[in-house]
Amino acid sequence: MPSLQEMAKKDGAFAGGHRMCAGCPVPIFTKMLTRVTDGYEIVAGNATGCLEVASSIFPYSAWKIPWIHTAFENVSASMSGVETMYRVLKKKGKITKPYKFIAMGGDGGTYDIGLQSLSGAMERGHDLVYICYDNGAYMNTGVQRSSATPMGASTTTTPKGEQSFGRQGTRKDLTRIMVAHNIGYVAQASIHNPVDLSEKLKKAIELDGPAFINLLSPCIPGWKIAPDLAVEVARLGVETKYWPMYEVIDGEYKINYTPEKDIPVSEWMFLQGRFKHLQKPEYKDVVDAFQQEVDRNWNWLVRQAEAVKLLSTEAKN
Amino acid sequence: MSECMRQINPDVVPAFPITPSTQVIEDFSQFVADGKVDTEIITVESEHSAMSACIGAAAAGGRVMTATSSAGMALMWEMLYVASSMRQPIVMTLINRAMSAPINIHADHSDSMGARDAGWIQLYAENNQEAYDNLIMAIKIAENMDVRLPVMVCMDGFIISHCVQTMQLEDTEKIRLFVGEFASTYPVLDTENPASWGALDLQDYYMEHKRAQHMAMKNAKNVIKKVSGEFADIFGRKYELFESYQLEDAERVIIAINSVCGEIKEVIDERREKGDRVGLLKIRSFRPFPYEEIAAALEGVKIVTVLDRSESMGAYGPLFTEIRTALFNAPQKPMVYNRIFGLGGRELFMSDIHDIFEENKTYLETNRVEKMFDYLKVRGG
Ligand SMILES: Cc1ncc(C[n+]2csc(CCOP(=O)(O)OP(=O)(O)O)c2C)c(N)n1
Ligand code: SF4
Ligand SMILES: [Mg+2]
C-alpha cells in the first residue's frame, strides 16, 4: 500500500476545474480511484447526481479515466454491461490488460431509485466495486429527503414546520442490506479518514467479484455547514458512532475504529443547520430517539464483531 | 429470432423475460449453455436494467442484442432515448404486444408506436421470414457509420412469433460475412484515450446533438435501401422501405403494418380476379418514415384506408397521421381515412377486409368519407 504522500504523486482519476461546491468532500475519493492500486486499468460509471453533473458539463470533463453516465437509477446495470463486454473481448483476445470497474452513486441513486439495479448487479457477481457517497439527501436537485436522510433532518421535502420536526422515522441501513447479498466485501468508510478509505478501496478493487463501500460524505448546503467543516463533521459522525467504520469480509464483521469517548450524537447533530430546530426543548424526545437508534445500531454491530472473534477462537481451540 | 441471433453471434445479450418474447431469450440461453455462441447473457433483474446494460455493453465496444415486448419495453422507456442519443447500434427484437391495462398478452402496436419518438429505427415484418431477414439487416443498418442508431425489429406477438411458417434459413457463414465485424467508436474500454460518455449537455450544445441524431435518422433511409439491396444480391429476397402490392393501377388502397398484410394480400388477389383495382401499401420502415416515397407510390390512387393497430387516444392513429402528412403536398390528393383494428389481438378476418374494400368503394362512388375515424369489429360502437 503506498503512503498518502506517494499516492498524491500518482496520476489521479479526477482533475480540478470540476464544479462541485467549495468544500465538497466528494473529490477526496474520486481522486483516489487510480492511486490505491497498480496494475489495473480503471473504468468508472456514475449515477446522476452532484458528482456526475458537476464533473461533466459538456464540452468539459474532469475525468481522466474512461467514464460513463446513462441515468439516475441504473449505474449498476450499465456497468454490468461494460464489465460483461470486457470479459467477452478478453476471452476473444481483443483486450489483454487487466481491468477493474467502479460504479459511483449518491444515496438517492443507491438507497432509493438505484437499489434494484444495485441488488441485481451484486447478486449476479459482476467484478464491480460500488461506491455510494452518502450525503443523506438528493442534493443535486435541492436537498430533498432520501431513505438515507437521518431522523429529524429538515430537508425541502421534509421541512421543519409548525407540525413537523423534519424527517420522520429512521434511515435505511443499506450497508446491512448489501451484506445480505453474500458478496465478498462490504464496508463503511468516512471521507475524513483517507488512509482507511484507501485501504478499503484497494481491498474492494483487488477482490475478484462484487464489492460495496458506503462512504459518509457531508454536504455543505445540504447539511448547512461552513465550507471548511465537511471533514470535521464527518469525523464527528464517526466519533459519535452515527457512522461506524467497519468492514464485512466474506460475511464476517470487523469494526475498524472504536471511539475512545462516548460523545452524544447531539454534538454531531447541532454542528449542522439541518438539525438546529431540534435544539428546542420540545424536541428532546426526538434527539433521545436518535441517540437510542445510534446506540442500538452500534451495539448490534459490536455483537456481530464479537461473534466473529468468538467463532475464530473456538475454531483455534 | 433466437436462431437468427445464434447465427449473428453477438457479444453480449442482456435480457429479461416477458410474453411473447420470452422464448427468444430462453432458446438463446440454451445456445449459450451449449456453447453454440460466444455470447455472454446478462440475466438482469428488469428491462430497465436490460437496456441500461445494453448501453453499457455497446459503449464498451461490442455487438449487443436483446428482445422484449409491451410492458418490458415500457420499462425501458427512459433508456430507449439514452441508447439512441448515445448513438449505440443496439438491435432489439420487439414482439409487439398490447400495453396494459387491461393486461393482455396479444398483438397490437401500442408498445412500438408509443416509442416512435425515441430515436430508434423501426422495421416491421409481415411474417417470420421478413422478421428474420430484418434482424440480419438491422445489424448492418445500425452499425453503419453514417447511422449508428439502435434498431427495433418489430413483429406481431403470437400471430407471427408463435406461428409455424415455412421459411428459408440462411447459411450461418454467409450471414456472418454479411454482417461483418463490429467496429467500435470511442469505446469505454479504451483507457489510452479515455472518453467521458453521458455528459451534462445544456442550452449551448443540446440542440446541435439532437440535430445530429435527426441527420443520422435521415441517413438511415438510404442506408436501409443500400443494405436491403446488398441483402437481395446475396440472399435473393428484395425489400424496400415499404412494399407496394398491386399498387400500379390501384384505385382503392389499404395501408397497414405487420401480419394483417398477409390477409389483405389474399383478399386483393380474390378481388383482382374479378377486376377490382385494389392494392396494399405495407410499411416496413416506420422510422425513418419515407414520406416522399409513399406520396409518389400513391400517385393515381383515389382513396386510401389507413389501418392502425394502436391508437393515440384523442387523436388519429399514428400511421394515419404520417400518411396524411405524406399526402398533404401531393398534386392530387386521394381521399384518406382511418380505422383502428386488432387491439389486444382481436382478429380481422378476410371477410372484414372485404368489408373495408366495399366501404371505400361506396365512399369513392359517393365522393364522400362518411366516417373519418372508426373502430373495426368493436361492440357498443
Ligand atoms: C428517473 C429520474 N428521476 C429523477 C431525477 C432527478 N434527479 C437527478 S439527481 C437526483 C438526486 C440525486 O441524489 P443523490 O443520488 O443522493 O446524489 P447527490 O445529488 O446527493 O449527490 C434527482 C432526484 C432523474 N434524473 N431521473
Ligand atoms: S451540494 Fe453537497 S454534495 Fe453536492 S457538490 Fe455541493 S457540497 Fe457536494
Ligand atoms: Mg445524496
Q: Is the CB of A48 under 6 A from ligand 1?
A: yes
Q: Which ligand is nearest to the CA of A108?
A: 1
Residue A37 clears pLDDT 90, i.e. is over it: no
**CB nearest B52 (choices: A53, A63, A81):** A81
In chain B, the residue whose alpha carbon lies closest to the alpha carbon of A53 is B200
Upstream peptide bond of A27 is cis (omega within 30 degrees of 0): no
Q: How many CB atoms lie within 10 A of CB A14?
A: 25
| Interface contact A74-B52, CB threshold 8 A | yes
Report the DSSP beta bridge partners of residue A106: A133
Confidence (pTM): 0.97
What residues contact B272, with CB distance under 8 A and at least 6 apart?
Answer: B246, B278
Q: What is the per-residue pLDDT across A114-133, written as a single tens digit (0 to 9) for each?
A: 999 999 999 999 999 999 99
The answer to whether residue A95 neighbours chain B at the CB level (below 8 Å) is yes
Per-residue pLDDT of chain B (381 residues; tens, 9 = 90+): 999 999 999 999 999 999 999 999 999 999 999 999 999 999 999 999 999 999 999 999 999 999 999 999 999 999 999 999 999 999 999 999 999 999 999 999 999 999 999 999 999 999 999 999 999 999 999 999 999 999 999 999 998 888 888 999 999 999 999 999 999 999 999 999 999 999 999 999 999 999 999 999 999 999 999 999 999 999 999 999 999 999 999 999 999 999 999 999 999 999 999 999 999 999 999 999 999 999 999 999 999 999 999 999 999 999 999 999 999 999 999 999 999 999 999 999 999 999 999 999 999 999 999 999 999 999 986
Query: Checking DSSP bridges between strand A164-165 and strand A160-161, what pairing results, if any?
Result: antiparallel
Q: How far apart are CA A231 and CA A227, in angstroms?
A: 10
Give A78's Cβ-side CA count (13 Å radius). 33
CATH code for residues A4-316: 3.40.50.970
In residues, how long is chain B?
A: 381
Q: What is the per-residue pLDDT across B285-297, written as a single tens digit (0 to 9) for each?
A: 999 999 999 999 9
Cα A217 to averaged position of ligand 2 atoms, centre (Å): 9
Domains of chain B, each with CATH number or no CATH: 2-235 (3.40.50.970), 245-375 (3.40.50.920)
**CB nearest B199 (choices: A56, A81, A88):** A56
| Ligand 1 atom at shortest distance from the alpha carbon of A148 | 16
Q: How far apart are CA B186 and CA B180, in angstroms?
A: 19
Q: What is the per-residue pLDDT across A201-237, written as a single tens digit (0 to 9) for each?
A: 999 999 999 999 999 999 999 999 999 999 999 999 9
Cell of A220: 455543505
Q: How far apart are CA B19 and CA B106, in angstroms?
A: 9
| Ligand 2 atom at shortest distance from the alpha carbon of A133 | 3
Q: Which ligand is nearest to the CA of A218?
A: 2
Q: Give chain B positions within 8 Å (CB) of A12.
A: none
**CB nearest A43 (choices: B12, B188, B202):** B188
Cα A266 to averaged position of ligand 2 atoms, centre (Å): 23
Cell of B265: 394480400
The answer to whether residue A90 neighbours chain B at the CB level (below 8 Å) is no
Exposure string for B181-211, b = 16+ CB within 10 A, e = fewer: eeebeebbbbbeebbbbbbbbeeeeeeeeee
Map out the domains of chain A as residue ranges: 4-316
Burial of A33 by CB count in 10 Å (0-12 exposed, 13-18 middle, 19+ buried)?
Answer: buried
| Ligand 1 atom at shortest distance from the alpha carbon of A146 | 16
Q: Give chain B positions within 8 Å (CB) of A71.
A: 52, 78-79, 82
Q: Is the CB of A149 under 6 A from ligand 1?
A: no
Cell of A127: 467484478
Residue B127 parent element (H or E):
none
Q: What is the pLDDT, as a whole number, of residue B112? A: 98
Q: What is the pLDDT, as a whole number, of residue B381? A: 60
- The DSSP secondary-structure symbol of B185 reads S
Q: Is the CB of A46 under 6 A from ligand 1?
A: no
CA–chain centroid gap for A104, Å, is 9
Residue B95 parent element (H or E):
strand B91-96
Cα A294 to averaged position of ligand 3 atoms, centre (Å): 21
Q: Is the CB of A28 under 6 A from ligand 2?
A: no
Task: List strand residue ranges (DSSP E) for chain A, in order.
Answer: 41-46, 67-69, 99-106, 128-134, 160-161, 164-165, 185-190, 211-216, 246-249, 252-255
Cell of B2: 433466437
Q: How far apart are CA B157 and CA B70, in angstroms?
A: 10
| Interface contact B78-A59, CB threshold 8 A | no
Residue B375 parent element (H or E):
strand B373-375
Residue carrying the nine cell digits 388519429: B316
Considering only CA atoms, which of A70, A77, A19, A24 is closest in space to residue A229? A24
Q: What is the per-residue pLDDT across B119-151, written as a single tens digit (0 to 9) for each?
A: 999 999 999 999 999 999 999 999 999 999 999
Considering only CA atoms, which of B250, B242, B287, B284 is closest in space to residue B268? B250
Q: How many CB atoms lie within 10 A of CB A266?
A: 17
Q: How far apart are CA A241 and CA A224, in angstroms?
A: 21
Q: How far is A18 from chain B (nearest CA, A)?
A: 12
Instruction: Among B188, B205, B207, B209, pick the best mutation site for testing chain A contact (most A Cβ within 10 A).
Output: B188
Per the CB < 8 A criterion, the answer to whether B343 and B311 are in contact is yes
Q: Is the CB of A220 under 6 A from ligand 2?
A: yes
The answer to whether residue A261 neighbours chain B at the CB level (below 8 Å) is no
pLDDT band at A67 (very low <50, low <70, confident <90, very high): very high
| Interface contact A68-B194, CB threshold 8 A | no
Report the DSSP beta bridge partners of residue B91: B65, B151
Q: What is the ipTM of this complex?
A: 0.96
Upstream peptide bond of A159 is cis (omega within 30 degrees of 0): no
Burial of A178 by CB count in 10 Å (0-12 exposed, 13-18 middle, 19+ buried)?
Answer: buried
